[in-house]
Amino acid sequence: MEVEVKQGKLVGIKEKSVLNGYEYYSFLGIPYAQPPIDDLRFRPPVPIDKWNGVYEAKKEPAPCYQYDIMNNNELVGSEDCLYLNVFTPAAPSDIKVPKAVMVFIHGGGFLFGSSSPMTYSADYLMNYDVVLVTVNYRLHALGFLNMGIEDCPGNCGLKDQMTAFQWIKENIRQFGGDPGNVTIFGESAGASSVHWHMLSPLSKGLFEKAILQSGVTSCAWSFSSNPIENGFRLGRYLGFEEKDPKMLIEFLKKQPVKNILDATTKMYKDTLNELFGIAAAIPFAPSVETIKENAFITDVPENLCKNIPPVPTIAGINDKEGRLIFLSLMEKIVQIQADLTPVIKNNFQFKDSQLREVVNEVKKYYFANGGSISATFSALTDLYTDIYFRKFHPTIDYIANSNAPLYVYQFSFNGDLNPTKRLMLQPFKYLFAEGASHADELAYLFYPKSLPDPKFGKCETKVIENMCTLWTNFAKTGNPNGETISIEWKPYTSEKSCYLQIKDDLKLIQGSLLEKGSTFWKKIEEKYK
């Protein structure tokens, strides 16, 4: 199947859905910006030039350079990685009425991940009459180093995404998509990226709706408050001792890309081992830009969120988010339980003189059920869920107060497709008695080709139907409800909070997500402020 975009002609492939054999079309590895190499390293993306001949969009693009934690930390990818994939439910020439467009931004802590169909297959969503786009963007220091100079202004990964959105606006009609009905959605770092686009004036007009899955800008891991310090720290890891940002960038541009990745990874691991906290360990994340012209982020998230433009939004979390977070620290589990001080110190602004009392109160609250293995893991799951996701509520209140419709959910289905459960079940089977870990909901929106022997039971199939129907209804109309949905999902307001609980059935719950943990931490912070 051949289409013609502004940059030239390209040809894709026909595929079949694993669910029911539904045929759809994939256009893989389409370049949307010039390769960010050589002098373009650390600089904002430059739109792609026209190409000659017919571009073969039949092979998934290389991920942006990274260590793949899902594949034994294998070194994968390329610095030339600014590509996207387009999936359409019919031959574009046969689509007479343009379809709603959904653009997905992957997660991975700004350190890893990609748009790969092995993880984000379109097999489910193509049954729901939308056009889907998945996007690669630069990661770690290559995407988020910010030295406050023209050669390295910061937030290149977010600007990559924005450039992809611009390409989509210009070209998606050629694939049967409606450029005036675009929903951007993402998970974890991808969700906080979507939230940054909602806040940035540079992305205005590039999308109409947003879906935030387990991430907002106010999550501690979504923002770097000391980017220049981290930049010089990166330099020291590579033997650069000067304090001139221009000299540092010239030095880094001459470094092999593997050296930069290795130094970034070592920075992450060293801090993680010292602080026992994911957020504090992420060295390169979105940050405020000091060069104000064409700046993507101009202020801290707390200030920007207060004036968020009205954008219809779905936002939610999984009930056991913290399980995956602390599983990455399993080898430190005894040490963490023995002394929670590093966890608390590096995620909150308590005075050193207050830490002992705060830690004692935290232990009493979270570890009240004793010290058995299952009780300890449950307590640490709740603690890390609250630490890394409890700021969800004040942030979504700002969205609700913008007068845009807001739908809030909690995903808590414990099914046989849950990726964390399937990949870690054998060594830690006792952890998965209930609930959904961070990222588990993704397997019910995207067919997980990389998951060994995916199991589609009756309940799993129903959850897929519900998730895909809710998400695509919202993308089409701004309202997730419809005839095939068994319950009315009412909008959330700051005065009357409610959320949709998504399990093997749907249930509307009155009240706030993370209400219990949020109340505890609010009291603690007020007591020790």
Q: Give the catalytic positions in this structure.
A: 188, 321, 438
Per the CB < 8 A criterion, the answer to whether 120 and 104 are in contact is yes
d(Cα 103, Cα 511) in Å, to the nearest integer?
30
Closest CA to 89 of 124, 129, 123, 133: 129
CA–centroid distance for 463 within its chain: 21
Strand arrangement, sheet containing 54-56? 2-5, 8-11, 54-56
What's the distance, Cα to Cα, between the start and end of the chain in Å? 62
d(Cα 114, Cα 105) in Å, to the nearest integer?
9
CA–centroid distance for 474 within its chain: 19
d(Cα 212, Cα 393) in Å, to the nearest integer?
13
What CA–CA distances, in Å, run from 107 to 90, 128, 138, 516? 28, 23, 12, 27
Amino acid residing at 514:
L
d(Cα 517, Cα 317) in Å, to the nearest integer?
14
Which stretches of 69-157 are assigned E, i.e. beta strand?
Answer: 74-76, 83-88, 99-105, 131-135
Amino acid residing at 467:
M
* 3-class DSSP state of 405: coil
Q: Tokens at residue 452, please?
A: 């060994």
Closest CA to 135 of 47, 7, 207, 33: 33
Closest CA to 45 of 75, 80, 69, 11: 80
Contacts of residue 523, defined as CB under 8 A and 6 or more positions apart, other chains included, come to none
Dmax over Cα atoms in the chain, in whole Å? 69
**Signed CA dihedral, 240, 242, 246, 250: sign only:** negative
* 3-class DSSP state of 46: coil
Per the CB < 8 A criterion, the answer to whether 172 and 316 are in contact is no
Amino acid residing at 435:
G
What are 185's strand-pairing partners?
104, 211
Q: Tokens at residue 177, please?
A: 């998509």
Q: Tokens at residue 491, please?
A: 């909008």
In this structure, the strands spanning 99-105 and 177-187 are parallel
Per the CB < 8 A criterion, the answer to whether 266 and 184 are in contact is no
What CA–CA distances, in Å, run from 518 to 159, 301, 475? 33, 19, 30
Per the CB < 8 A criterion, the answer to whether 450 and 119 are in contact is yes
